[in-house]
Structures are given as structure tokens and as C-alpha cells.
Chain A
Amino acid sequence: MQAYWTLARRELGGYFLSLTGYVIIAAALFLMGNCFVVVLAKLQYYPTSTPVTELFFNTEFFWLILLPTTPLITMRLFAQEKFSGTFETLMTSPVKDLEVVLAKFTAALMFYAVMWLPLLGCLLVVRHYTHDASALDAGVVASTFLGILLLGAMFVGLGCFASALTRNQAVAAMISLVFGVSLFLLAYLADRFAAGAHWQAQVLACFTLFDQMSDFARGVVDTRAVVLYASLALFSLFLTLRVVESRRWK
């Protein structure tokens, strides 16, 4: 347990000791700000009763932030250590493989959560200027952030796996981008073709990420989505653990 916290702290600290962390946060902040301008401009001409949070997820900005940032966050996790050789000093310390994988995942997820915090600021600004308490409901904000975190856990988990596969950070980023974009395309397909009653359509319907995120943003916590995100995240962590252990089989 001590090793887990020590490692997680070091990993999280690592983002802020290099420029990468700040650049990622700045870029995400820039896109988030843009997104809000778009949402507010829309609101000006077409007033609706839809929550602001949901409007946010109906712009492409959310995916524009999510898809490229998660590979950037996760690419360094294992690849950098393997490249610099510190992976050897790490794995010859008395730490368990599982602790290493979980610590790295936790740190990446925490950084991801920190990256999204400015969104809260944007929402507060809206609430401040609308002078309307109903414009921003605490429950809705909580479920929105839960959605962001769970979806993020899935993408970060896949990124972890990608990073464990290689010692080259750029390659790790590309692999996890491929994973991310595949999920995105799957969601796109599901959005258009999941109407049928046969089993393929029903499986596809599980991956309607856009609808699921809109649900979260409306304050609806759908267990199907929660289970999907959590199980995919766990599965990718399991694969990561196998890859880390694999040096003992060679």
C-alpha cells in the first residue's frame, strides 16, 4: 500500500515537473473556453430549457478534448520508464506488479480529473451571470463529472495498456489514439445503425457513447454505461498487468 501511494504521488508529480502537464491543461482549457463560447452563443439565439451541461456535450468540443488528451496523458506512463531504464530500478524494488499498474493508472486518472476542473469554473460563470439557481443543479454537475471520470477511466486504461506495449512514447500515443478513435467510430456507428432488433444492433447499442454522455449531463446515471466503462477500464488494466508480468515469462 505504501509503495502504491508513493508511486502514484511520484507519477502525478511527474506531470507537473515537466512542461507536458501544463501544456495539456492549457490546451484543454483553451478548447473548453471555446466550447463555452459556442454554447453561450447558441443560447443567445435559441433559448432552451436544456441544462447547460447537456448542451456542452452536444458540441464536438468534448470529444475534441477527450480523444487527443488521453493519449498524451498516458503515453509516458510505462514507455518513458522503459526508455530511460528506470523501469528496471522500479521492478527490482520490492513492489508488486499490480501496485505499479494501479498507481500509474490512478495518477493518470487524477491528472485527467484535474484537467477537467476548469469546466466547473465555466459552469459557475454561467450560473453567476444568469442569476438563476436552476441553471446549474448540483446533482447534474455531479453526474456530469461522474460521466467524465468514468469515460476517462476507460480511455486512460486503454492508454495504460498502449504505453506498456512499447518503449517509444510516440508509438504509445498513436496506439492509444487508435483505440480511442475506434471507440469513437463505434459510438458513431451505434448512433446511426443501432435501431434494429437483431443481436448485432443490440450489442452496438451498448456503445452509444454520445447518448450515454448526454444522459450523464442530464443527470441520469445509466448503469449500463457505468458497467461498460468500468469493465472496459478493468479489462485494459488486466491486460496491462499481463504485459508488465510478461517479462517473467520470456
Chain B
Amino acid sequence: MPHLAELFGQLANGVILGLILALVASGFTMVLSVMGIINFAHGLLFALGAYLALTLLKIVGYWPALIIAPLIVGALGILLEQTFIRRLYGKDPLFVLLLTFGIAMMGEDVIQMIWGKLAYSIAAPDLAKGSVDLGFMIYSKYRLFMGGFALVAIFSVWLFLAKTPYGAMIRAGSHDSEMVGILGKNLPRIRALVFGLAAVMAALAGIIAAPLWSVRPQMGLDALLPAFLIVVIGGMGSFWGSVLGGLLVGVTNSIAVMFVPRFSDLIMYVLAAVVLLYRPRGLLGTRSVLE
């Protein structure tokens, strides 16, 4: 039986992993429900966030990199939507998935060309080095910082969605694709905005995760597949569903690491399969046009 402190530690790790994944998944599901497309390049944006931060922090330091890298990735996301994806609106969604498949492959190769195949690690910022005694356990300061940062990011996105006019339009689109039609001339702007916002969220998650995961070309897929399953678990188009799904996946994964380390990656698939069988719309999902 693992020690209790170890269990607490792993639980905390799970929550933090869950928050990072929630950040990736909520952007992914926002694009999915507003635009009706699966963006397979979403993982690439996550990886790009980490790699750009890697390069930028050598030039401008950690904190500026934390702001600049997501903005660059957000701009790239908008560029992607404007140049490629918008050509395929109204066509079979199969094509967008294949297109983003292609972009993800090219992108991974471009990352290899620029940064090489090897894995890097990013050092934690000075402020968050070392660990802190919480009374019942000793825990890494950086992980605490990451969890806090992810929480702030998630709440900012929620505030944006819930309290701003643009957010209201995005939410309307998430519930009913016909509503997006009513948005009329605002539609192109909304789409670009959604894509850009999702890219920023993915990049932020990538940067936060960088010091823990190694930064390597395939890291995009490591985040994207859990994001798929989180959407299935939480319910498509549901923001809080993504957060709940992310936390569930994160925590079960961390606990599984203690007991069945070899197959810990598989736990989230089992979780998603069970949810699909007993709650086909996901834990917080509503009836959707995409069923």
C-alpha cells in the first residue's frame, strides 16, 4: 500500500494534469461545437506553445515568454483558419479533419527541422523553484504554481464566454448551429476569434506543461488524444464538461500510475467507453446535432 502522503501527492498531480488537459480540451470542443469541425492540428498548437516558450525564455525570460508565446500561437491559429480551414466550410467535415491531419503532420516535421528530434526540458522559473511544506505533505512549488495558473486561465475563459458579447455569440453557436446563421455577418469574425482563442488556450497549456513533460515533437498528440476522450466524457460543447472530464482523466490517470503503471494510459479510454455506454451524451452534454 502506498504511503498516504504519496497518495495525496499523486492526487494533486492528477488535479494539475487534469487542469492542463481541461485547457486543451475546452478549446478543442469550442471549435468542434461552434464550427462543427475536428481540429486535429490542435495538438500541434499545444506543442508550438511549448517550443516557442523554450526559445523565447532564453531571449526575454520566463514571464514575458509566458505571455508572448500564446499570442504568437493564437495569431498562427487565426492564420490557419483564414488561409486553409475557411475554404472548407459547408463541405463534408471529413475534409477538414483530413486537412488538419495534414497540417499536424507537416507541423510536427517542421518542429523537427527547427528544434531537432531530441527532447528538451524547461527549467522552472526562479520564483517557483523548490518545494513547500503544506503541513500534510511536501509539494513542488512549481506544480502548485501551474495548477493556480491553469485555474486562472480557465476562469478567464469562462468569464469571457459568460460576460462579454462575443462570448455570448460563441455560446449561442455552441448550442445550436442555426443560431450561428443568425449571427450573419459576424460569423467570419466569430470563427476566427474562436479558432484564435482555442489556439491561445492550447499554447498556454503547452507552456505550463513544458517543465513537467519533456518538450518533444510528438507532445502534441500526447495532449490531443486525452482531449478527444475528455470531450466524450464531459459532453460535446460543454465548457464545464471539459473541465470535469479533464479532472476525471487527470485524477484517475495519476491514481492508475500508482497501481498499474504500465497501463495507466489506458484508464481514460476505459472511462470514456463506460461514459459512452451509460451516458451517450457525456456527463454534462445536451442533445446535439452531431449525434
A and B are partners in one complex rather than unrelated chains: no
Interface residues of A (CB under 8 A from B): none
